[in-house]
């Protein structure tokens, strides 16, 4: 059976992206649970008021009343950053 090289290459790219994304999530979770330094608000692209549904109070990293395991500083329950991860 002949192997379509283009299709095989695409499959490898998808697998690489999936593994990379999974490892990034694991690394981020590990950082927050291992007590490693938090990310600054600027580096996290944090905003204090976010109009969308993905607000801090719905994020796995949010620590009530105004904290976060990933981003440093005072965190609004209605904020948002690029590290948003929905609660299960
Ligand atoms: S959205 Fe960002 S700043 Fe807000 S709780 Fe989640 S990780 Fe922290």
> Ligand 1 — pocket residues by CB below 6 A?
44, 46, 56, 59, 61-62, 68, 70-71, 75, 79-81, 83-84
- Segments forming the whole domain that contains residue 9: 1-36
Query: Greater confidence, 28 or 17?
Result: 28
How high is the pLDDT of residue 53? 96
Query: Greater confidence, 80 or 13?
Result: 80
Burial of 60 (0-12, 13-18, 19+ CB in 10 A): middle
56/28 same-domain check: no
31/47 same-domain check: no
31/66 same-domain check: no
Of 78, 59, 79, 55, nearest in space to 69 by CA: 59
Q: What is the CATH number of the domain that holds 50?
A: 4.10.490.10
pTM across the whole model: 0.66
* Distance, CA of 6 to CA of 44 (rounded, Å): 37
Residue 71: pLDDT band with limits 50, 70, 90: very high
Q: Is residue 26 over pLDDT 80? A: no
Q: Which atom from ligand 1 is nearest to the alpha carbon of 84? A: 1
Total domain count for the chain? 2
42/9 same-domain check: no
Residue 16: pLDDT band with limits 50, 70, 90: very low
Task: Give the pLDDT mean for 62-88.
Answer: 97
Query: Greater confidence, 10 or 81?
Result: 81
């Amino acid at each position: 059976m002949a192997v379509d090289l283009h299709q095989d290459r695409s499959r490898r790219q998808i697998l690489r992206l999936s593994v990379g994304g999974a490892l990034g999530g694991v690394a981020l979770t590990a950082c927050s649970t291992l007590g490693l330094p938090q990310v600054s608000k600027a580096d996290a692209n944090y905003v204090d008021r976010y109009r969308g549904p993905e607000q801090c109070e719905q994020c796995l990293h949010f620590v009530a009343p105004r904290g976060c395991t990933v981003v440093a500083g005072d965190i609004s329950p209605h904020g948002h950053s690029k590290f948003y991860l929905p609660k299960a």
